[in-house]
């Protein structure tokens, strides 16, 4: 789950929480703050603490972008005052607690063994909150799994091409086009998983996905 930086509040006052959408998209890109899927239609401004359960309606600190699938699953389950029971991509390291081997979202149990118990519990609760690892069936229309898998396959194909050209004059052009493809397909962490042993490509992904919190990776 890509950790993002929203920056300081960009507006003095807004009447509707939906008015925050262009500011969020400019700061962190049109990607779901949970599953990382690109939001190619209308991004949903999502309340971290549910507005129906006391969460602030238009406060910058309570808003993120979400896809329909994650927003629906999260629903109003986080009431005012319960934010601290989870990890959040704009405040915490949400990259390392999860893994995306073979394009499947999973909890990174090995990593969580090295963290304190509260952090590990909060990571698991967020994973369950948005059903990040959901595998759909005939009755389940959740497309996150399939689109993440497509992004994984795109990344694998790109890596094969990159290995062939990274010592040639075509390197810079290939890298530029590969990053464009990554941004179009979304699922930042899946691309990072495929290129986990290639520092050059990882750095390009971190730099080019707007709003990615670079300090998380430097640590």
**Domain range annotation of the chain:** 1-219
Could you tell me which residues are beta bridge partners of residue 31? 38
Per-residue pLDDT of the chain (219 residues; tens, 9 = 90+): 999 999 999 999 999 999 999 999 999 999 999 999 999 877 789 999 999 999 999 999 999 999 999 999 999 999 999 999 999 999 999 999 999 999 999 999 999 999 999 999 999 999 999 999 998 887 777 899 999 999 999 999 999 999 999 999 999 999 999 999 999 999 999 999 999 999 999 999 999 999 999 999 986
Position of tokens 């810079």?
A: 172
Q: What is the reported pLDDT for 219?
A: 64
Position of tokens 């941004």?
A: 183
CB atoms within 10 A of CB 56: 15
Distance of CA 112 to the CA centre of its chain: 19
- Contact residues for 31 (Cβ-Cβ < 8 A; gap 6+): 2, 37, 38, 39, 65, 186, 188, 209
Evaluate whether 62 touches 47 at the Cβ level (below 8 Å).
Answer: yes
Distance CA 8, CA 55 (A): 19
DSSP 25-44: HHHH-SB-TTT--B--S-PE
Q: What is the reported pLDDT for 138?
A: 75
Q: What is the pTM of this model?
A: 0.95
**163: helix, coil or strand?**
helix
The HSE-up count of residue 46 (CA atoms within 13 Å, CB side) is 29
Q: What is the reported pLDDT for 176?
A: 97
Distance CA 158, CA 175 (A): 9
Distance of CA 187 to the CA centre of its chain: 7
Position of tokens 């994984």?
A: 152
- Contact residues for 134 (Cβ-Cβ < 8 A; gap 6+): 73, 140, 142, 144, 145
Polymer length of the chain: 219
């Amino acid at each position: 789950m890509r950790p993002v930086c929203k920056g300081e509040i960009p507006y003095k006052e807004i009447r509707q929480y939906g008015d925050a959408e262009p500011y969020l998209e400019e700061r962190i890109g049109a990607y779901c703050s949970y599953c990382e899927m690109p939001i190619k239609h209308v991004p949903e401004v999502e309340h971290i603490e549910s507005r129906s359960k006391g969460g602030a309606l238009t406060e910058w600190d309570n808003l993120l972008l979400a896809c329909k699938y994650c927003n629906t699953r999260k629903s109003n389950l986080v009431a005012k005052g319960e934010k601290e029971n989870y990890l959040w991509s704009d405040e915490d390291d949400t990259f390392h607690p999860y893994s995306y081997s073979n394009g499947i979202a999973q909890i990174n149990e090995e990593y969580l063994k090295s963290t304190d118990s509260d952090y590990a519990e909060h990571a698991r609760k967020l994973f369950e909150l948005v059903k990040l690892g959901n595998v759909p069936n005939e009755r389940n229309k959740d497309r996150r799994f399939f689109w993440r898998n497509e992004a994984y396959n795109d990344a694998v194909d790109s890596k094969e091409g990159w290995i062939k050209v990274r010592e040639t004059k075509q390197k810079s052009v290939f890298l530029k086009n590969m990053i464009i493809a990554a941004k179009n397909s979304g699922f930042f962490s899946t691309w990072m998983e495929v290129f986990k042993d290639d520092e050059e490509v990882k750095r390009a992904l971190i730099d080019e996905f707007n709003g990615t919190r670079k300090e998380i990776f430097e640590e």
